[in-house]
């Protein structure tokens, strides 16, 4: 099976109203470091983004931050002096392209509009066959229950196909993220072998 070298984590720059959100984000960073997997994140020095980076750094993980010039000039979070690599782009589009191109998989933690934008962009790219990274959504404390129901309603109303729901995977805990990524990558490789055999 292909080695997982890096995972991009999209999440909120805010902490949310429940301690479990930042607690799980911190643990997500730790888990990636424990698996010797690089963390790619939005370079924020607050909220969920701060927590996931702090988690990785607490276990001597390798962290890549990606932001845009206008945000970095304003925030200049102290965390950016601790991470191993900092990328500063001119546009949000360039930032997202860089983050996803470097990653073997995508992890979505709770977040706001920016996180939703990132989720639906990578989901659309998977739908179109432009990218093939596993997409895992961590449904911390039921945060994404409504989103899951909404996606199912898209299918029920004929605006999406049932197979498209399989392009993303929901898990309840960050502890389930890496096993799910490994499972999805294994399925993808088996499908490639199956397709190759059928073409022979």
How does DSSP classify residue 181? H
Measured CA distances, 111 to 13, 15, 92, 96, 164 (Å): 7, 9, 17, 16, 22
Q: Which pLDDT score, from 0 to 100, does residue 47 have?
A: 92
CA–CA distance, 7 with 72 (Å, rounded to integer): 22
pLDDT digits (tens, 9 = 90+) for 33-49: 999 999 999 888 889 99
Name residues whose C-beta falls within 8 Å of residue 156's C-beta, 6 or more positions apart in sequence: none
Would you say 109 and 140 are in contact if contact means Cβ atoms under 8 Å apart? yes
Token pair for 178: 């890496």
Q: Report H helices in 80-176.
A: 92-102, 113-127, 145-156
Distance linking the first and last C-alpha atoms of the chain: 22
Would you say 48 and 25 are in contact if contact means Cβ atoms under 8 Å apart? yes
SS3 97: helix
Residue 65's closest CA among 38, 47, 90, 91? 38
CA–CA distance, 104 with 38 (Å, rounded to integer): 10
Residue 83's closest CA among 114, 40, 35, 46? 40
Residue stretches of the chain with pLDDT short of 50: none
Q: Which pLDDT score, from 0 to 100, does residue 68 have?
A: 86
CA–CA distance, 198 with 86 (Å, rounded to integer): 44
- Determine how many CB atoms are found less than 10 A away from the CB of residue 120: 11
CA–CA distance, 54 with 40 (Å, rounded to integer): 13
């Amino acid at each position: 099976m292909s080695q997982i070298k890096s995972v991009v984590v999209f999440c909120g720059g805010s902490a949310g109203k429940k301690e479990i959100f930042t607690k799980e984000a911190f643990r997500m960073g730790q888990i990636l470091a424990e698996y010797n997997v690089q963390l790619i994140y939005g370079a924020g020095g607050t909220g969920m983004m701060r927590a996931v980076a702090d988690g990785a750094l607490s276990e001597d993980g390798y962290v890549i931050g990606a932001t845009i010039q206008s945000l970095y000039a304003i925030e200049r979070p102290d965390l950016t002096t601790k991470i191993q690599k900092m990328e500063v782009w001119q546009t949000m589009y360039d930032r997202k392209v860089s983050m996803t191109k470097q990653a073997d998989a995508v992890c979505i933690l709770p977040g706001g509009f920016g996180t939703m934008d990132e989720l639906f962009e990578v989901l659309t790219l998977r739908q179109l066959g432009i990218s093939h990274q596993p997409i895992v959504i961590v449904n911390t404390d039921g945060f994404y229950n409504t989103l899951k129901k909404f996606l199912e309603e898209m299918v029920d109303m004929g605006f999406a196909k049932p197979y498209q729901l399989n392009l993303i995977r929901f898990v309840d805990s960050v502890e389930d993220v890496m096993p799910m990524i490994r499972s999805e990558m294994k399925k993808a490789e088996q499908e490639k072998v199956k397709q190759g055999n059928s073409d022979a």
